[in-house]
């Protein structure tokens, strides 16, 4: 019964009113889609799948960028000389 009443009401609306109702319906559809979407990849994937995806992402990074020198990774260069003697 409600459906038939709504159809009758729609027939009496002008274009602007119909556009507003169409926008409202689109909003409702968007809300229902966002509620029913599956959880994000990081929540549903196994550790192996996450690792594989991470390595794939890394493989696409630029390879010509600057990197730290080997000295920067050395533990000896992290601390000042006076701290080592203490």
Q: Is the pLDDT of residue 23 over 70?
A: yes
Higher pLDDT, 46 or 42: 46
Give phi and psi for 12, each to the nearest 5.
Answer: -95, -5
Q: How many CA atoms lie within 13 A of 73 on its CB side?
A: 4
Q: Rounded to whole angstroms, how far apart are CA atoms 41 and 52? A: 12
Per-residue pLDDT band at 77 (split at 50, 70, 90): confident
pTM over 0.75: no
Predicted local confidence at residue 36, as pLDDT: 62
Average pLDDT over residues 59-76: 81
How many structural domains are present in the chain? 1
Q: pLDDT over 70 for what percent of the chain?
A: 87
Q: What domain range is 28 assigned to?
A: 2-84
């Amino acid at each position: 019964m409600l459906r038939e009443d709504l159809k009758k009401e729609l027939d009496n609306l002008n274009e602007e009113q119909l556009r507003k109702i169409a926008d409202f319906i689109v909003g409702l559809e968007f809300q229902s889609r966002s509620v029913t979407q599956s959880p994000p990849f990081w929540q549903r994937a196994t550790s192996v799948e996450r690792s594989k995806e991470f390595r794939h992402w890394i493989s696409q990074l630029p390879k010509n960028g600057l990197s730290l020198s080997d000295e920067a990774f050395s533990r000896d260069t992290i601390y000042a000389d006076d701290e080592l003697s203490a």
